[in-house]
Amino acid sequence: MDDSSQVPMLDLFRTEVEAQTAILNDGLLALERDPAALERIDELMRAAHSLKGAARMIGYTAAVGVAHAMEDYFVAVQESRVVPTLDAVDALLNATDLLARLSHASEMAIISGDVAEQGEIDAIIPQLEAATAAKPLASPSPSPAVTAPESAAPVPVSAESADRAVRVTADNLNRMLDLAGELLVASRWLTAFMGTTSREARKGVTLDTITHAVAELESFDVRLGRISQRLYDGILASRMRPFSDGIQGLPRMVRDVARALGKDVRLQIVGEKTNVDRDILQRLDTPLGHLLRNAVDHGIEVPDERLAHGKPAQGVIQLEARHSGGMLSITVTDDGRGVDPESIRAKVIERRLTDPDVATRLSESELLEFLFLPGFSTRQEVTDISGRGVGLDAVKTMLKDVGGTVDVVSRPGAGMRFQMLLPLTLSVARVLLASVADEPYAIPLARVIRVLMLVPDDINSVEGREQFLLDGEPVSLVSMRDLFDIGGTAPARRRFPVIVVGDRALRYGLVIDEFLGEREVVVRPLDARLGKVRDVSAAALMPDGSPALILDIDDVVRSIDAYVSGGRIGTVRSSASDVTDTGRHARPRILVIDDSLTVRETERKLLEGAGYLVDVAVDGMDGWNAIRVGQYALIITDVDMPRLDGIELTKLIRADARLRSIPVMIMSYKDREEDRMRGLDAGADYYLTKASFHDDTLLRAVADLVGEHVA
Amino acid sequence: MSHGVNSESLFDRPLPEDYRREWTAQIAEQRETHVRQTQSVLVFRIGAEWLSLPIGLLEAVVPRRPVHTLPHHRGGIVLGLVTLRGQLRLCVSLAKLLGIAEATESQTVIGVGADRVIPRYLIIGERADQRVVIPVDEVYGIVRYGPDAVRELPATLAAGTRYTNNVLLWNGRTVSQLDGALLLYAIERAIG
C-alpha cells in the first residue's frame, strides 16, 4: 500500500495535478478531433472537479478559480447548454497547461496568493466563462467546425496502455518466424526418429544400430542448439532500439538550461544508431539528464570566461554511445572548466569525510569518487538547475541497479568526461547457482567474491557467532537457512559450501546446502504485485523450467548485517493480516473513499493524527470491495466518483445484512439542501461538506460515530 | 362396424395402474430436466470444503509443479513462484485466505472417486495482471446448474462469511459459490 503520509501536501497536490491534467489533455484532444464525441465529458468534468477540490484543500485560490471555470464549462456541455467549439477546446487546453504551471509555484507564492501567472489567469477565466455562456445551436458562430459532421466516425478510444507494445521490424519478425518453423520441423524429426529406432530395435539391437542412432542424435542436438540460439538472439535483438530513441528530449533540455544560464552550448551526439536494450534505454533517461545538466551548469563556462581562457565562446558537450567489449559504453564529455581534485580534497577534509591523513594521500581518481556521494557538492551555492552531487548520486544508483559502472576523468581547465559501462541487456545474467532446502538460488557472478568449501576445523566461534579466516581476515558465517527463515537442517556433511559476498569493507560467508554450478540464465522480473521482495532482485528459469530466485546482494548484505549485529532480522510479515485483521487492535479502523488523492491523504492524515487506523479506496467500487473484505468502524465517502458513486455505495451498504450497521459519513463539496437530503435518504449517518476539513467538525463527527480515540 | 365398436371400447378401457404411474413419473421427470441450466461453475475441493468459482474466472486447470518459496513471505497467503506454461506465476493459498484447514491424509477420502483425487493448480483471474495460481486438492469439473439449485446462506452463517454468496446443491452436497471478483480483490490486497 502507498505510504504517502510523510509527503508534504504540496507534493500531493502536484501529483494530483499531474494525473488530472493528463486526463484533461487526453480528453480535450479527443474532443478536438471530434467535438461531437461527448463520451468523455463526464471524465473531463470529474478531472476539473478533482483539481478544484485539491487546490481548495491547500488553499490555492488562483488554481481553484481556473479549475472552477473549467468545471463550469464541462457541466454546461453535460447539460447541453453549449456545444464544444474548437476555440473553447483551445482555451481549455491553455487552462490545463496553466494549471500544470501553477502547480509548480513556490509554497510562498501559493500561500500569499501572489503568483507570477496572475495575468494569464485573469485572461483565461473570462474566456472560459464566455464559452460557458455561449448560446447553443446559435447561428454559425465565428469559430470553425462548430458542429461535427453528421456521420461522425467513432472516436478512437485513447490508447490505453494496458499492454506494453513493442515495435519489431518486419524483417526481424520474419526471421524469428522462420526459426520457429525450423524448430517445429526439428521436433517432428525427433518423433519420426524415435519411431524408426524403436522399429529397428524390435528387429534386434546391435552395436551398429546404437552407434548409428547416437550419431544421428548428436547431429540433431547440434542443429537444435543452433536454431534455438539464433531464435533467442533474434528475440533479443527485437528488444533493441537505436540510442537516438531514448534521447529525443535531451538537445532541447540542454538548449533550455544553457539559455537560462546565459551560456552557449552545443550538444553533439555520436552513435545515434547504436543498439540499446529498451529497458536500459528507458532507465538511461534520468542519469543522462543529470549528467548533461551538470555539464552545462558546472562544466561549461559563460562565453566571456571561455574567451578569456582562449576557448571558443560556444561550449561543446559530446554524448557518445557505442558497444565496447560486450558492454554498452556511454560517455558524456564537456570542454568546460573541469574539477580541480584539490578542491575536492579540501572539501573532504573540511567535511571530515575521512581521516585528514588519509585525505592527503587520496589519488585523483579516488578523490573524484567523492563526487558520487549523496549531497557532496563542490559548489558553494546550489542552483535550481542541478546541485552536483545529488544528480551524480542518482547516476551511481541506476548503474548499480543494472550492474554497470561509472568512471570520471577531469582535466582541470579543459573539461570532464564521464564514462558509463552497462550490460548490453538486462535479460541475461551469468550466475552461480546454489541450492538451499532443495530450492535453487542464483547469485550474479559479478557479486561473488569467493566460493569455497570449509571443513569444521576452519570454523571458529566468537561469542556464539561463527567465523572463518579469509586471507587472514575474519569473516562472519551466516547460514542461508537462518537468514531466510527457511528452517530445517542442512544435509549432514563434512564440508560446507560457502559463498563469500559483500564489498571490500564488509564480507560475509553465506552457507548454502549445495553448489549447482555456474550458468547463464534468462532473467524474469518478479510479479509486479509483490513489490520489492527483500533480498531478491528477480527470478530465472532453470533448465527444467522451474524457477530460481536471483539474489539482490546489496539487500542480502544489509540483511546479514542486521542479522549478525542484532539477532532477528525483521519478523515474518503476515501478508494476509491486512485482509483478515479481525479487529484485534482496539483502535477503530476507518475507510476513506475519495477519487482525489489530495482529499484522501488529507483525511487520512487528519484521522491518523487523531489516533484512528485508516485505509483508503480510490473509488466507490474499490471501496465496496474493501468494505466487504475488511472490518471497518466507519466509512467516509465522497459522492462524485467513477464506477460507483457515494450514494449508490451507501445504498449497497444499507442493503447488506452483514454491513448495514456500519456508520457511513458522506463528505462532499455539494452543500445544497437537496444534496444533503439525497445522502441522508440513501442511509448516510452524516453529511459533511469538505469545508469541515478546516475546523474540527470532521473529527467531532467521527468521534460521535465511533468514539474518541487518543493514540 | 364391429371394428368401430371394438376400437371405441379400447379407448374407453380404464388405464392399467402401472402404465399411468410410469407416464406420470416420466412427464414429471422430463419437466425437471427441462429446467434451464444457465450457470456454469468449476467445482473443486480444498481440505474438506467443496467450493465453486464462475467459469469466466478460470484460465486453466494444470498439474502441480514445485513452488519456489519467497524469503520473508512465510505465513502469508503468498506461497511462492511456480512456472506454468513457460510463465512465472504467483502461487497463493486460497485455503489461508478462506481459513480452511489444509487437507490431511484422512481427508483425501472425501473425493468423489478415489481414483481421480489428484491435487491440481487452478490459474484464475480476469486480466493478465490479476492472474494467480491456487493449489486445490481435487477438481471435480464444470457443473451447470439452474436457479433451483441455489440456496441462500442461512443468516447465522452469512454473518461469518465474506466470500461466499450462496450455496449450491450438487450431488447431495453443498458447494460454496465464491464471489470471484471479491476474491480476486482480496488476493490482490493480500499480495501487495
Contacts of A407 (CB under 8 A, 6+ apart): A418, A419, A420, A421
pLDDT exceeds cutoff 50 at A572: no
Which residue is listed with cell 467450493?
B51
Distance from CA of A570 to the nearest CA of B (A): 9
Q: Residue A440: what pLDDT?
A: 94
Q: Distance between CA A563 and CA A534 in Å, rounded?
A: 14
C-alpha triplet B131, B132, B136: angle, nearest 5°:
135
Q: Distance between CA A232 and CA A227 in Å, rounded?
A: 8
Q: Least CA distance to A575: which residue of chain B?
A: B76
At A77-98, the pLDDT tens digits run 888 888 888 788 888 988 988 8
Contacts of B17 (CB under 8 A, 6+ apart): none
Q: Distance between CA A556 and CA A573 in Å, rounded?
A: 17
Distance from CA of B113 to the nearest CA of A (A): 31
Sort out which chain B residues have CB atoms less than 8 A from A625's CB and list them.
181-182, 185-186
- In order, the DSSP letters of A535-597 are TEEEEEE-TTS-EEEEE-HHHHHHHHHHHHHHS--SPPP-TTHHHH--S-SSSPEEEEE-S-H
Q: Distance between CA B163 and CA B177 in Å, rounded?
A: 8
SS3 B127: coil
Strand order in the sheet with A613-617: A613-617, A589-593, A634-637, A664-668, A686-689
The number of beta carbons lying within 10 Å of the beta carbon of residue A95 is 25
Which stretch of A411-425, A564-578, A618-632, B123-137 has the lowest confidence by average pLDDT?
A: A564-578
Residue B26, φ and ψ in degrees, nearest 5: -65, -45
pLDDT band at A388 (very low <50, low <70, confident <90, very high): very low
Sort out which chain A residues have CB atoms less than 8 A from B94's CB and list them.
none
Q: CB distance from B192 to chain A under 8 Å?
A: yes
By the 10 Å C-beta count (0-12 exposed, 13-18 middle, 19+ buried), B182 is classed as middle
A664-668 and A547-551 beta bridge pairing: unpaired
CA distances from A20 to A160, A570, B101 (A): 15, 38, 46
Q: Which residue has the higher pLDDT, B175 or A239?
A: B175
B/e letters for A180-193, b = 16+ CB within 10 Å, e = fewer, are eebbeeeeeeeeee
Q: CB distance from B157 to chain A under 8 Å?
A: no
Assign 3-state DSSP to chain A and report helix, strand, coil percentages, each to 5: 45, 20, 35
Q: Which residues lie across from A524 on neighbouring strands?
A: A539
Is there a contact between B192 and A657 if contact means CB atoms under 8 Å apart? no
CA distances from A425 to A63, A277, A421, A551 (A): 45, 5, 12, 18
Is there a contact between A439 and B68 if contact means CB atoms under 8 Å apart? yes
Q: Grid coordinates representing B59?
A: 484460465
Upper half-sphere CA count for residue A370 (Cβ side, 13 Å): 24
Q: Distance between CA A209 and CA A215 in Å, rounded?
A: 10
Give the residue from A591, A603, A667 showing the smallest Cα distance to A634: A591
pLDDT exceeds cutoff 70 at A147: no
Is there a contact between A546 and B68 if contact means CB atoms under 8 Å apart? yes
Determine the longest span between alpha carbons in chain B, in angstroms. 97
pLDDT exceeds cutoff 60 at A498: yes
The number of beta carbons lying within 10 Å of the beta carbon of residue A176 is 19
Sort out which chain A residues have CB atoms less than 8 A from B66's CB and list them.
546
Q: Grid coordinates representing A206?
A: 546391435
Q: Least CA distance to A617: which residue of chain B?
A: B189
- Interface confidence (ipTM) of the complex: 0.74
Is there a contact between A485 and B186 if contact means CB atoms under 8 Å apart? no
Q: Which residue has the higher pLDDT, A388 or A29?
A: A29
Q: Which of A17-21, A500-504, B175-179 has the highest mean pLDDT?
A: B175-179
Q: Residue B158: what pLDDT?
A: 63
Q: Distance between CA A181 and CA A227 in Å, rounded?
A: 10
Contacts of A498 (CB under 8 A, 6+ apart): A451, A452, A453, A454, A468, A477, A509, A510, A511, A512
Across the interface, of A440, A529, A535, the residue whose CB is closest to B191 is A529
- Name the DSSP class of B128: G
Q: How large is the average pLDDT for residues B82-92? A: 87
Q: Grid coordinates representing A16?
A: 494530483
Is there a contact between A547 and B86 if contact means CB atoms under 8 Å apart? no
Whole-number average pLDDT of chain A: 80
Q: What is the pTM of this model?
A: 0.56
pLDDT exceeds cutoff 70 at B170: yes
Is there a contact between A575 and B190 if contact means CB atoms under 8 Å apart? yes
